[in-house]
Structure 1
């Protein structure tokens, strides 16, 4: 790390759980005296670095380093929009009114304006879009509260700091939109460090493409109506203009969903499943026309208030995107449609982010450091280096110091339904009930899809009840992620059933978690449009998609899920993978090699005996 910083070189470093990779890059950064940018995966990890790790190290090392935290716009209170929200009196529910009152009380005392300071404020609260700004609706220097703007203050502090902590979403959003200040900050730093770098590729793809969604239209219609009625009443038929946008949003959602009804989660559709259909094409054209009409109405009153100029720009962008999605996609890009219970999003994405990193590395000599616990299954860390155009970068692998052979076991049931069989989810739930019953809860069940989540959870509850085993089963979607995890920790004999968001970034050391059950091997879904496009690109290069892509992705995901089990040197645990293909198929050996070196068990009796030993050690 230190050599890469001093020589301004790239480095890709995989460090197993317990190595202390955070301190391994922070210490040389602080000692170097170089200006640095640190990017991590989530806002909560940002807060941990900025509020806990960095101040502690700075004080210990005696380095007077000026630190700054920079998040995206929607993390900061917008004073102007908060006042507008109170004046409009239009709220989706009573909880939003109470939430706004809490925010107003907090706003009088906060210095940073970071909404994360408010305990218990759900980041999914519908009041948050009402009191924060976006690139589209920010008034910039024409805002009456510009001098007090929390976003402007955060950017100013970042530009004056020696070390700035950002997140991956902000990094890519800024490089593509140049909206948050990172684009101005990056050229001035000597080192850029990306923690949890395994998430960079997928995060980057989200921002290098473009999207058009029905909720985006509804937000625009709401903002237009509020501004028109309060600032230019009578100068246009604002309800009619906004109503046309709302109708266009509804028609886009209906045309995207097609025959799909009563959706519980998000369904990803191939572009060719809807493109070319008359209703879909008509929805896009109606959307463009409604956005054009809104733009015309706004331009006519543009001088009345600065809001109207911004709204007109948003209308122009929506019309342009609608017409772009009506045309065929460009080469090297893939489109699909995400359809949910209340929203539909049209998405176009590049197949990779190689060009972006190649371009950024060529701009100026600086250290580019990428680190994570999971970056590949070979010494060259090819899974990550190929995706990020870093084949020329030095690589480093540091194994976990934990004694996995002594403290953990893995078990793959030999006689078990295969994942394609209808009985598989219920069998997973019943197995989870037996394991958690023996252990006294302390179990995670990780699923590869949201679809099987309720089936497994119900089977688990039924089996526990039949065996008279009192278990508290917490299921993803019942509560916000943070609340769900806290209830798992606070409630005796708990089992948590979760999907993608619980496979990584969850740290439960000690006796609270001692069994992780993975329902099946986490291969990328073959019907996913992006997966299909990547497979076709590999075939065109003469490579085997299963070997080069599917197995590599599954190995990384499996490694992430297994990483939830042992989080400290004293932890004990059992990893169960309820997929007999891991035993039966030739590729099973490669996937097992990606896991930590745990001892292997053969039968359920062996697994139960190991759980008994864990309980015995715990009580002893």
Structure 2
């Protein structure tokens, strides 16, 4: 039988199964190169970090060796949307083309699945609004027919809907096998299917939830898995630190108070004063919010993020803050004592007891100074607050937990410190660690990390260093097959021809340029901003320009509708000759947006995407670099900007037939010495000398698509 490398190569051959199944398939040397590297990693074990530029076909490049290798595998993506795409489109296509008898399963977190028991409870609560009542009724009708309980089956349900927490469970309020509707539990069913599957598709959030708090049920699944692939791995560090840190927030405590009151009145009425206990917690939470004050830097309608390098956050009186934390801890301890006294009354109370104890430990933890290897901050809104402590990266966790590389000073496991109070240990005493590397020397576990953007240097240190893979993984970089010099142009305004990014006139100038581009193309223009303030300013200027009935351009702005709706409207406008569209967006639209063809032909970026100033996590990372004698700007700010810029530019050319123009409205690319490094990170597009040439290029694009 041919070895794995030979079989993988045959899949991508001109006369191979992919070509037979898809008439549009064309062989790509980079795709084969990456697939063979993945096959080698599956055979030998260890870690592979692969940066595959747009157009390589990285998904099939890792799927083919995984499927042909015949080993159980775990595939992790960055978002639930990409997870659905991988499970519902890419995997079935390749499995069908290869004719393999492979069992696949999709596994998401609890918040993605309907909880029948929580739905029953929600029926007895008065909806917060008429809209919430309609959404709840829609979910009830769907619940009668769904087989999976996956809320993604309801595309009209806004992911921000306040109804979702009412009809889904959390680790805190799930009753497990003691739930009266456990036989109908969609989460339990999804986990059983995952245990029986050959290939399981998860997401990064779920992976790290299990790594930190054993939430996803992979303790049984992972020991039998030989390969783990992280797609869109550039998000891994930021996702991981969310789960490896600690959070204590307003919603978390309010949900607990609500669950406590509901369970107490339903199952133990008269045994404790549940109203007083829940009210005492809410009063303590209110006192903590008042102790935080009203920071003058708080943006209108938004949250202020306060540094927290001492016992109290910056600008918050220490005595009042610590006293409020102590009252919160005392309220939680009183609730814990009450739940312990009635824990035999119903299954809810033992779980409420555990929640109260954990929250009390968190309150006590945040009353102590943060450690040097963590960043701590406080987010304060008008009525809300969130206390957060985060590790600076996931390097130690990846090296010790995934790769099995012991720290230099830990010769004896018994010398390892106990986990901090309030933080659950990664593995309970006497419990097998499912994430530990395979003990079988002949078949070590394979870890594959892939993305289109992982750094701007040969060793991809922007990714490998914070993820603990520097010096511990094979590195592969595969260039794009696209002919960028033919398919695209790049315009950067000269310093004398455009306002500087810090000038008040800059947003208006960006809006004018984007509006001129949209007029020439009949829409088909995406504006990516680095801040929400710029998003508002640019979108308002464009809306003013194209205001009125019969305007040739519709202006869409992030936040007006859910992302899915915005993308559908933008794509539809791109196919229409009657009404053009320009979309102004920030944050999540810099990546994960795939609009091939004529619907998108111009991308305008307002500024270089440097990390936001004042971010406590970024500041803590910079302090660590500078304390070691390094340059925080060179080690953090420039690589962050380069990766984000590559992501934003990557929205333009998505296939071999795409054509378009990229305009980066930041004159620092020309005027500052570091501009050369950032330009080198971009695809090799044809440079334009001035705005007149840009408009001529757009006119050519418009004619060619007419």
Worse-matched range after superposition: 191-200 or 523-532? 523-532
8 A contact 1:374–1:556 mirrored in 2 = yes
Other-structure match for 1:378: 457
Deviation per CA, 1:191-247: give whole Å up to 9, x if none: 100000000010011111000101111111111111122222222222222222222
2:292 touches 2:316 (CA, 8 Å); kept in 1?
no
Q: Give the whole-Å Cα distance in 1 for the aligned partners of 2:315 and 2:175.
A: 37
Given that 2:546 and 2:555 are in contact with CA atoms closer than 8 Å, whether structure 1 keeps it comes out as: no
Aligned ranges 1:254-269 → 2 under 5 Å: 254-256=290-292, 258-260=294-296, 263-269=300-306
1:282 aligned onto 2:323 = yes
**Superposition map of 1:50-129 within 5 A:** 50-87=87-124, 89-129=125-165
Equivalent pair of 2:555/2:583 in contact (CA under 8 Å): yes
1:496 is the counterpart of 2:583: yes
Superposition map of 1:90-489 within 5 A: 90-256=126-292, 258-260=294-296, 263-271=300-308, 272-274=313-315, 276-359=317-400, 360-362=402-404, 363-364=436-437, 365-392=444-471, 393-414=473-494, 415-465=497-547, 470-489=552-571
For 2:634, the equivalent position in structure 1 comes to 547
SS of equivalent residue, structure 2 residue 653: coil
Alignment of 1:10-25 (within 5 A): 10-25=47-62
Q: Contact (CA 8 Å) 2:453, 2:647: kept in 1 or not? A: yes
- Shift, 1:262, TM fit: 6.7
Deviation at 1:113, TM superposition (A): 1.3
Task: Return 110-119 or 589-598, whichever deviates more.
Answer: 110-119
Where does the alignment leave 5 or more consecutive residues of structure 1 unmatched?
A: none
1:490–1:280 distance in 2 versus 1, CA, 3 Å: farther
Greater helix fraction, Structure 1 or Structure 2: 1
Q: Report the counterpart of residue 617 of structure 2 in structure 1.
A: 530
Query: After alignment, is 306-315 or 334-343 more displaced?
Result: 334-343
1:519 shift after superposition: 0.9
Distance 1:426 1:256, change over 3 A: farther
**Compared with structure 1, are the counterparts of its residues 482 and 173 closer, same or farther at alpha carbon in structure 2 (3 Å cutoff)?**
same
* Partners of 2:564 and 2:292 in 1: CA distance: 32
Count residues with an aligned counterpart.
618
Distance of 2:153 and 2:504 partners within structure 1: 46
Residues 109-162 of structure 1: per-residue CA shift (max 9 Å, x gap): 222111111231111111111111111111112111222211111111111111
Note if contact 1:214-1:252 (Cα within 8 Å) is conserved in structure 2.
no
Residues 349 and 229 (structure 1 numbering): CA distance in 2 closer, same or farther, change over 3 Å?
same
Matched residue SS, 1:192: strand
Q: CA deviation at 1:482?
A: 0.6
Could you tell me how far apart the structure 2 residues matched to 1:400 and 1:280 are? 54
TM-align CA RMSD: 1.7
The answer to whether the 8 A contact 1:418-1:579 is kept is yes
| Deviation of the 1:465 alpha carbon | 4.7
Partner of residue 607 from structure 2, selected from 500, 513, 520: 520
Secondary structure, in 3 states, of the residue corresponding to 1:430?
helix
- Equivalent position SS for 1:242: helix
Instruction: For 1:6 and 1:442, locate their aligned partners in 2 and report how far apart those are by CA, in whole Å.
Output: 46
Distance 2:293 2:493 in 1: 39
Moved more, 594-603 or 3-12: 3-12
TM-score relative to the length of structure 2: 0.85
- Give the structure 1 partner of residue 68 of structure 2: 31
Which segment is superposed worse, 486-495 or 562-571? 486-495
Per-residue CA deviation, residues 322-368 of structure 1 (Å, 9 max, x unaligned), is 11111101220110122345532111001111111111111322111
Q: Secondary structure at the match of 1:129?
A: helix
Query: What is the distance in 2 between the residues matched to 1:397 and 1:217?
Result: 46
- 2 CA distance for matches of 1:219 and 1:399? 48
* TM-score scaled by length of structure 1: 0.96
1:42 aligns with 2:79: yes
How far apart, CA to CA, are the structure 2 residues paired with 1:407 and 1:267? Answer: 43
Aligned-residue offset at 1:314: 1.1
* Aligned 8 A contact 2:295 2:304 in 1: no
Comparing 218-227 with 367-376, greater Cα deviation is found at 218-227
CA–CA distance in 2 between the matches of 1:430 and 1:581? 19
Contact 1:257 1:344 in 2 (8 A): no
2-side partners of 1:308 and 1:275: how far apart?
Answer: 36
- Deviation (angstroms), 1:433: 1.5
Residue equivalent to 2:658: 571
> Matched residues in 1 for 2:126 and 2:274: separation?
16
